[in-house]
Amino acid sequence: METKDAVGALSALAQESRLDIFRLLVRRGPLGLSPGELSEVMEIPPATMSFHLKELSRAGLVTSRREGRSIIYSADFEGMRTLIDFLLENCCSENGGTC
């Protein structure tokens, strides 16, 4: 993972609403949730929710699939794993194992 991608992923999570959205999607698992459901549960207007989902999507932290007339977003665990690996490799002590 490149530094810029890491900044992208960190930025996506560095916002209270988006971190909450992402955590909810993580708890929900592969089942996922539609923007409409997320919008209602989190009390965030559709346009704002769409903006946040796009941000998470661009960061590679969520995936989406169409299902009937809805679109379902789910957490992308692989993307998250990539970010955590980046942090472990680049932001933690190498030899000491301090972190």
68 binds, among a second copy, DNA, none (CB under 5 to 8 A by kind): DNA
* Interacting residue ranges for DNA, rule: CB under 7 A: 11, 15, 17-18, 34-37, 39, 44-55, 64, 66, 68-71
User: How many whole angstroms separate alpha carbon 13 and alpha carbon 5?
Assistant: 13
Nearer to a second copy, 3 or 47 (CB): 3
Q: Locate tokens 């769409």: which residue?
A: 50
Nearer to DNA, 47 or 99 (CB): 47
> 68-84: string of b/e by CB count within 10 Å (b at 16+)?
eeeebbbbbeebbebbe
User: How many whole angstroms separate alpha carbon 2 and alpha carbon 28?
Assistant: 29
- Which parts of this chain interact with a second copy (CB under 8 A)? 3-4, 6-7, 10-11, 13-16, 19-20, 22-23, 26-27, 29, 75, 77-78, 80-81, 83-84, 87-88, 90-94, 96, 98-99
